[in-house]
Amino acid sequence: MEAFCLFSGQSRLRYTGTMSLLEIRNLTKIYQTQEGLFGSAGRELRAVNQVSLDIHAGETLGLVGESGCGKSTLGRMILRLIEPTSGSVQFDGRDVLSASAGEMRRLRRQMQIIFQDPFASLDPRMRVEEIIAEPLLIHENSLNGASRRSRTLEMLQAVGLDEASLRRYAHEFSGGQRQRIGIARALILRPRLIVCDEPVSALDVSVGAQIVNLLRQLQREFGLTYLFISHSMPVVRYLSDRIAVMRAGEILECGPSGQITTSPAHEYTRTLLAATPEPELWS
């Protein structure tokens, strides 16, 4: 089954245009499982199967589904952190999957990721200043130390942390503060697209709400486009302009948030809505 997801309906945000920033067509990832006992042949596992999506500049597309359905695999394939088996990814008219190493390096300035686990995604040996500034060292190595520190401090303050945090290590911060550091690192190059891969699932509800509100604020401030991946329908509903529902590697339905959450077409979507009552923080 294939559900093709294009822009429809009215958004809470103001899009920058009608053209897609990101176009995904028939994206597929197949893993070969290991051989079984007595030399029996392994099986194919279709982690993502023929997914097609469009994401428009300035919007948030929420990708929701149960754990293990292929959401994170899809997000990582878009950034070529995982190589797809087949399909195509176009970012602002450029073919991501056929890009050379040099072209991919330039594309990565505009496409970043916020990881799920704020405890595992930050190097414990590095100070916060080094963590946030690392993308600048890779992509803008002509910057002098003063300029790099100024940019780093500006981004740290944008996510709600103060200058004293620069000299500290990640383990000295709470989970919510660590996720703010991860967000600052993702934003330091001023990307256009950010894949938010379950960014609040490791946090408690109140801290997660603060992070989601921060993401909305930063989207307005920096003109960001989000692919927001989550297993929580209430979180996705709160943040997203459109929602795509995924199960077993396939998109079952996709449409404006209000439509998906009030008049879902698929029984699985109705099951997700019933299984995740909306906390007061998201209402």
- Asked whether residue 253 is domain-assigned, the answer is yes
Torsion of CA 254, 259, 260, 261, to 10 degrees: 160
Q: Which residues sit opposite 27 in a β-bridge?
A: 51
The angle, 0 to 180 degrees and rounded to 10, between the axes of the packed helices 175-187 and 145-158 is: 130
- Asked whether residue 82 is domain-assigned, the answer is yes
Q: What is the average pLDDT value for the chain, to the nearest integer? A: 88
Digit-coded pLDDT (tens) for 132-151 = 999 999 888 888 989 999 99
Range of the domain at 199: 1-32+43-110+195-203+227-283
Digit-coded pLDDT (tens) for 36-65 = 666 566 688 899 999 999 999 999 999 999
Q: Which residue has the higher pLDDT, 7 or 203?
A: 203
- For the cut 70, the answer to whether the pLDDT of residue 283 exceeds it is no
Look up residue 107 and give its two tokens. Answer: 């594309």
H or E element that contains 217: helix 205-222
Burial class (CB in 10 A: 0-12, 13-18, 19+), 139: middle
pLDDT at 197: 95
- Asked whether residue 47 is domain-assigned, the answer is yes
| Burial state string for 202-222 with b = 16 or more CB within 10 A and e = fewer than 16 | bbeeebbbbbbebbbebbeee
How far is residue 52's CA from residue 5's CA, in Å, rounded to a whole number? 7
- For the cut 80, the answer to whether the pLDDT of residue 241 exceeds it is yes
For residue 24, give every residue at least 6 positions away whose Cβ sits within 8 Å of its Cβ, in sequence order, or none.
Answer: 51, 52, 53, 54, 74, 78, 87, 88, 89, 90
- Select from 268, 259, 206 the least CA-distant residue to 235: 206
- Asked whether residue 10 is domain-assigned, the answer is yes
- Asked whether residue 132 is domain-assigned, the answer is no
Look up residue 210 and give its two tokens. Answer: 């603060």
How far is residue 218's CA from residue 221's CA, in Å, rounded to a whole number? 5
Give the range with max mean pLDDT: 2-6, 121-125, 160-164.
Answer: 160-164
Question: What is the domain-level CATH number for residue 235?
Answer: 3.40.50.300
- Asked whether residue 231 is domain-assigned, the answer is yes
pLDDT cut 90: percent of the chain above it: 72
pLDDT at 18: 52
- For the cut 70, the answer to whether the pLDDT of residue 35 exceeds it is no
Q: Give me the number of domains the chain comprises.
A: 1
pLDDT at 16: 42
Average pLDDT over residues 144-165: 93
Q: What are phi and psi of 116, to 5 degrees?
A: -70, -45
- Asked whether residue 51 is domain-assigned, the answer is yes
pLDDT at 19: 73
Please provide the distance, in angstroms rounded to a whole number, between the alpha carbons at the two ends of the chain. Answer: 33
- Asked whether residue 175 is domain-assigned, the answer is no
Q: What are phi and psi of 193, to 5 degrees?
A: -120, 135
- Select from 90, 97, 50 the least CA-distant residue to 70: 50
Question: How would DSSP label each residue in 256-274?
Answer: EHHHHHHS-SSHHHHHHHH
Average pLDDT over residues 212-221: 95
How far is residue 177's CA from residue 274's CA, in Å, rounded to a whole number? 31
